[in-house]
Structure 1
């Protein structure tokens, strides 16, 4: 009976020691934050590049529609231009919000 109590008290003490060894976790949070923020510059540049490619594709499509005399040219131009503006503004706002 005494051996059981001794081993039980030792197990509880070792568990408590292990919990204190974990710390408050702030080092892990700081490391995760620095890892996530290090991806913002390449991601922002990637979004700008995607916006440029979409703008070029949209320009070619609008020119093609305009050259063929399609009456739907204005709507197509507005949608492609809006998509490019959205990508640029979204990247800028996300970058300024998180950094």
Structure 2
């Protein structure tokens, strides 16, 4: 090998080593920051899901009342689906919160 080739090879290996060493970080700071950002959204998201559940509950209650007052035969089916939707929203919010926090 010529001197010129040895110098070029040495420079290339040095640059490769430096970039590899700089790229070797454990990433703990980035992971902790991402975790903090995600967990900070769960409290407002949980409150939003509870608010949506309350609105759905009120609308469903009015719907069931109207069907019951008019003597509609499928009132029990409507009441069961409304109740199931409210329970699902509450349980989903609670499970997601406990799973991620």
TM-score of the two chains, using structure 2 as the length reference: 0.89
Which of 18-27 and 87-96 deviates more? 18-27
CA apart distance, 1:67: 1.0
Give the Cα–Cα distance (whole angstroms) in 2 for the partners of residues 42 and 31 of structure 1: 18
Aligned length: 99
- What residue number does 1:10 align with? 11
What value does the CA root-mean-square deviation take over the aligned residues?
A: 1.3
Give the Cα–Cα distance (whole angstroms) in 2 for the partners of residues 39 and 30 of structure 1: 15
CA apart distance, 1:11: 2.3
In structure 1, list runs of 5 or more residues that go unmatched.
none
In structure 2, list runs of 5 or more residues that go unmatched.
none
- What residue number does 2:72 align with? 70
CA deviations 1:9-67 (Å, max 9, x no partner) are: 22222222122223121211111111111110000000000100100110011011111
3-state SS in 2 of match to 1:71: coil
Would you say 1:59 and 2:61 are equivalent positions?
yes
